[in-house]
Structure 1
Amino acid sequence: MPDSINDLVRDLSADDRDVWEAAEDRLVACGAQVVESLLPHVEADGSPRLKWGAEAVLQRLGEDALPRLREIRRQGPGHLRSNALRVMIDLGGTAYLEEADRRAVERLVRIKLRDELPVRVPSEAGRWLAFPADRLEDAVAALALHDVRPATTVMGVAAATRSTDSVVFQDAQGKSRTAYRVFITPAFETWLSDLPIQNWRLLWGNSFIDELDGFSLADKLSERCGEAHCYVLDPYHSAENWYVAREGLRVRSFGSYDHPRFRGEPLPFEVEYKEDADEDEAEEYAEGVPYALTAADNLSVEPGRMPVSSTRGHGLLATTHPDVSHSRFKGALPI
């Protein structure tokens, strides 16, 4: 590889913005011959600036980089093969992979599913739906989900909350539409023995829940599944919401910025909190329970590290449109 290309790659980590921007432009102008020099630097370790610069150049090369990336996957060098796979998925999703690589990814997921327990579901922030675990088929039908396939929890959470979770596409009539990717967790058993529903699945999908209104989705789910919830934790805006629907209707909800904050009659667990409140807590629980995690803990399951003994089955990834499979979503996922 010419020394000038190696010099340009080093310049990607320069502190001077003009220097690294010029290096990016010149590397892009060099075309696919720079791919092999950039691939070692897309690992998480090392200089963040160099990593971002290498990824930026590869993104700008786009499909022009594909022939060389595929050649490296087939023929090596061996130490670059895994990075080449990751970059191809980042550029165009698994649609950019050759059949052998797609089968390899699917095989790795099946292997990981055998011993992925315990699993962890985010509890610091996010939005999720909850529905009875034994109504999985009804939930899939109610939300019109497609391309449902097994996924590890690490993979599913990343797909639905941190990676590309929506795709804009043209339908058969030429109309612009949006498809979403969602993750359905394994079934989790609640620790409360007096609840009528003992096992729950959670559905994560930030864009899906935000843009299609999680409360309306909970209503729709509850029409088919009997009961469904929506929970929102938004630390950035100091906001929390929880919402319970049964048989298609809201029965109780709380929202930090709703007016009024509580709607519907207090649920039994809220009455207990009010009755058990001491002097300092009396005002806090005067109207009900204003915390999404507390509501989840008493109504379904609280996200976080889920005990092995109460986890059943495996998670599932799904999309929301029959014309958009998972291969259309960009971004490499952890497995």
Structure 2
Amino acid sequence: MTAAIDTLVRNLSVRDRTVRGAAQDALIALGPQGIDQLLPYTLDGEPSSRRRAVRSVIERMGDEALPRLREIRREGPGRLRSSALAILVDLGGVDALDEIDRRAVERLIRIKILDERPVEVPMEAGRWLAFPADRLDDAVAALGLHDLRPITTVMGVAAATKATDSLEFQDSQGKTHRAYRIFITPEFENSYAEGQFRNWRMLWGNSFLDELDGFRLARELSERCGEAHFYILDPYNSAENWYVARDGRTVRSYGTYDYPQFAGEPLPFEAWYMENADEDEAEEYAEGVPDACKAADNLSVEPGPQLAEDTHGHGWLATTHPDIPNCRFKGALPV
């Protein structure tokens, strides 16, 4: 049987789709009793393509695989426990874990949070909101957030920008809703920020910001927090946006493909660039500052690595619906 499984596993990587598909079907048909023989192929040391293919086979077994994976977590073999944990979370989220494993994950997060310095948020591409750090409670209320959980920045960024960050579900009346998972960063200090606020938090969540309109969310945030910003870095389309709202009103915005590109009066930091631009920069800064990161650096906080001494507290993971806690979202996350 072991030799037959080994042959099937190797066939998962062949070029012939028919052979590859037949191998997948045969391995899935083994069901939970085949998990012990398949898990070793997911360990470090195996080719990455093989690890991914075998994990996919186990995950396609669905809920039937959960009991055996939990047994391996409890009873071993020890070398298979970490792989079993990762696949459990991919299959069913934290909900799929035993209580002991849940407590262990929470304890690990608490430990990691204590010395997670410096932290880093995406700087090459993405979209995020920014709001005054001391208005966290107001931001939570304004956006209707639930199940706030302390989280590391590495874990939060992955949850909100790489893993599954939206979930469709039905309520007790059969009505369909969509819940989102978002990440709020630790507090970042920027002593050079323009205006009355020096400490800021970012909010990341690709689906949340895309589907619910980050510009509208910034306006709503500013009603409760006094001020809020929305930034977009889109290198694929060679586009950038930055948007400032105060007390529920648009103050200033820029968009590469907006017409006109600028709206509102130039802010003080822009006036400096406009007045001090040299000959090569005069056209770029003729109407204001078109660079979203430069705007963020002057108004709130620029993405990328954050200095340890300017980082305070920890981040939070949250969802947008009271019936969908964080544990309902599937997928293993780095800690």
- TM-score band w.r.t. shorter chain: over 0.9
What pairs with 1:103-252 in structure 2 (closer than 5 Å)? 103-192=103-192, 195-252=195-252
Q: Which amino acid aligns with 1:281?
A: E
Secondary structure of 1:168's aligned partner: strand
By how many angstroms is 1:45 displaced?
5.8
**Cα distance in 2 between the residues matched to 1:14 and 1:270:** 57
The answer to which of 167-176 and 219-228 deviates more is: 167-176
Within 5 A, what are the aligned runs for 1:63-74?
A: 63-74=63-74
**How does 1:27-106 map onto structure 2 within 5 Å?**
27-43=27-43, 46-106=46-106
Q: Which amino acid aligns with 1:207?
A: S
Distance 1:65 1:77 in 2: 16
SS in structure 1 at match of 2:169: strand
C-alpha separation between the residues in 2 aligned to 1:192 and 1:64? 56
- Aligned with 2:61: secondary structure? helix
**One-letter identity of the residue aligned with 2:13:** S
Name whichever of 311-320 and 190-199 sits farther off.
190-199
Counterpart check, 1:302 vs 2:302: yes
After TM superposition, the structure 1 stretch with the greater mean CA deviation from structure 2, 97-106 or 52-61, is 52-61
Code of the aligned partner of 1:178:
R
Structure 1 residue ranges without an equivalent (≥5): none
Opposite residue 127 of structure 1, the aligned amino acid is R
CA contact (8 A) 2:128 2:209 kept: yes
Question: Please, which runs of 5 or more residues in structure 2 have no aligned partner?
Answer: none
RMSD: 1.3
State the Cα deviation string for residues 10-31 of structure 1 (Å, max 9, x = none).
Answer: 2222233332221111101111
Contact 1:13 1:47 in 2 (8 A): no
Say which SS state the counterpart of residue 191 (structure 2) adopts: coil
Letter in structure 2 aligned against 1:72: I
User: Secondary structure of 1:197's match?
Assistant: coil
| CA deviation profile, 1:286-322 (whole Å, cap 9, x unmatched) | 1111111011001001011100111000000000000
8 A contact 1:9–1:37 mirrored in 2: no
> CA shift at 1:43, angstroms?
4.7
Say if 2:333 is the partner of 1:333.
yes
Q: Residue 202 of structure 1: CA displacement?
A: 0.4
Q: Which residue identity is paired with 2:303?
A: P
Task: Give, in whole Å, the separation in 2 of the partners of 1:222 and 1:44.
Answer: 48
Identical positions, percent: 65
User: In structure 1, what residue type is equivalent to 2:258?
Assistant: D
Deviation at 1:9, TM superposition (A): 1.4
Q: CA separation in 2, counterparts of 1:323 and 1:170?
A: 10
Q: Residue by residue, what CA displacement relative to the aligned partner does 1:123-180 show, whole Å, maximum 9, x if unpaired?
A: 1111100000000000000000000010000000000000010000002321111000
* Superposition deviation, residue 50 in structure 1: 1.0
Would the aligned equivalents of 1:42 and 1:54 in 2 still touch at CA under 8 Å?
yes
Which AA in structure 2 matches 1:261? Q
Structure 2 counterpart of 1:203, which letter?
L
1:20 match: secondary structure: helix
| 2:98 maps to amino acid | E
Does the CA contact (< 8 Å) of 2:193 and 2:298 recur in 1?
no
The question of whether the paired residues in 1 share the 8 Å contact of 2:161 and 2:206 is answered with yes
Aligned residue pair count: 335
Q: Could you tell me which amino acid in structure 2 is paired with residue 101 of structure 1?
A: D
Given residue 26 of structure 1, which amino acid in structure 2 is its aligned partner? A
CA displacement at 1:41 relative to structure 2:
3.3
1:246 and 1:60 mapped to 2: Cα distance?
49
Q: 1:267 Cα deviation (Å)?
A: 0.6
Q: Compared with structure 1, are the counterparts of its residues 187 and 15 closer, same or farther at alpha carbon in structure 2 (3 Å cutoff)? A: same
TM-score by length of 1: 0.97
Question: CA separation of 1:144/1:311 partners in 2, compared to 1, >3 Å: closer, same or farther?
Answer: same
One-letter identity of the residue aligned with 1:158: A
2: CA distance, partners of 1:175 / 1:209: 23
Alignment of 1:316-331 (within 5 A): 316-331=316-331
Contact kept, 8 Å, 1:128 with 1:202, in 2: the verdict is yes
Contact 2:193 2:297 in 1 (8 A): no
